[in-house]
């Protein structure tokens, strides 16, 4: 059962298309497994539709329609080539969220006792700091805070921190005001996370210290 959902503001920003790409990807992973949030998002998108419908129309150039008509028979753009994705040897039965279909996924890198990291690179937004994390059972991540928003979607297993327990399908939104110390469940934890800020790897420093 899913206990942790995106906040209403986050879902609104996702519907409006204003979340950073990495955070949007994590929210998309949550939506795939959460009918309640999909329904909520659909209502918010309908609000977007209603607002669009009510906007005062802006005149287009006289030749706009003719220009588009002339292009209707053009072939649609070819899809991008499939991204490189390392074989992560995931636990039996775990499939990565469909939202990662077009992302490049690196192999697991050891970054601390019991903690592995795989870089997720979005070819369409390569500056985004997105990763898969695999934390061994009972492993404690050192106490840390955030420079900006950190979204974490649990894919397998779970963890607990000061704000509660997070199991499969749960999403955690931590901002710069939260300092927490996640501890993986006995079976371990695999999650997808997006952090605000360039290509720094804050996990590296804080995990190595643990």
Partner 1 sequence: MPPVTALDYPAPDASALAALIGRVAASRDRTAYATLFKHFAPRVKAYLRRAGMGGAEAEELAQEVMLSLWRKAESFDPARAGAATWVFAIARNARIDHARRRREVSFPDNAPEEEGHAPSAESLTLSAEREARLRGALGALTPEQQQIVQLSFFSETPHAAIASALNLPLGTVKSRIRLGLSKLRALLEDAP
Residues that bind partner 1 (CB under 8 A): 8-9, 12-18, 21, 24-25, 27-29, 31-32, 35-36, 38-39, 41-69, 71-72, 76-80, 97-99, 101-102, 123-127
Return the number of the residue (9 or 87) whose C-beta is nearest partner 1: 9
Total residues found in the chain within this entry: 210
- Give least dist CB 153 to partner 1, A: 12
In SS3 terms, the chain reads as CCCCCCCHHHHHHHHHCCCCHHHHHHHHHHHHHCHHHHHHHHHHHHHHHHHHHHCCCCCCCCCHHHHHHHHCCCCCCCCCCCCCECCCCCCCCCCCCHHHCCCEECCCEEEECCEEEEEEECCCCCCCEEEEEEECCCCECCCECCCCCEEEEEEEEEEEECCEEECCCCEEEECCCCCECCEEEEEEEEEEEEECCCCCCHHHHHHHCC
In the complex, least distance from residue 124 CB atom to partner 1, rounded to whole angstroms: 4
Query: Which residue's CB is nearer to partner 1, number 53 or number 92?
Result: 53
CB of 165 to partner 1, least distance (A): 24
Closest to partner 1 by CB, 23 vs 139, is: 23
Which CB sits closer to partner 1, 29 or 120?
29
Pick between residue 119 and residue 143 the one whose CB is nearest to partner 1.
119
CB of 173 to partner 1, least distance (A): 12
């Amino acid at each position: 059962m899913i206990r942790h959902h995106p906040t209403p503001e986050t879902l609104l920003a996702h519907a409006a298309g204003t979340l950073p790409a990495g955070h949007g990807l994590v929210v998309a992973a949550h939506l795939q497994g959460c009918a309640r949030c999909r329904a909520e998002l659909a209502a918010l998108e309908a609000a977007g539709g209603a607002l669009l419908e009510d906007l005062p129309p802006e005149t287009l150039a006289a030749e706009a329609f003719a220009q588009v008509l002339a292009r209707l028979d053009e072939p649609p753009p070819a899809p991008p080539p499939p991204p490189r994705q390392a074989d992560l040897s995931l636990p039996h039965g775990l499939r990565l969220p469909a939202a990662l279909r077009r992302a490049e996924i690196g192999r697991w890198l050891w970054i601390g006792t019991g903690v592995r990291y795989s870089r997720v690179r979005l070819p369409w937004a390569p500056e985004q700091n997105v990763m898969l994390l695999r934390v061994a059972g009972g492993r404690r991540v050192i106490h840390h805070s955030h420079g900006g928003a950190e979204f974490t979607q649990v894919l397998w297993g779970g963890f607990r921190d000061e704000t509660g327990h997070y199991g499969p399908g749960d999403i955690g939104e931590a901002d710069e005001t939260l300092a927490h110390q996640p501890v993986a469940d006995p079976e371990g934890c695999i999650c997808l996370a997006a952090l605000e800020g360039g290509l720094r790897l804050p996990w590296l420093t804080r995990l190595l210290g643990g």
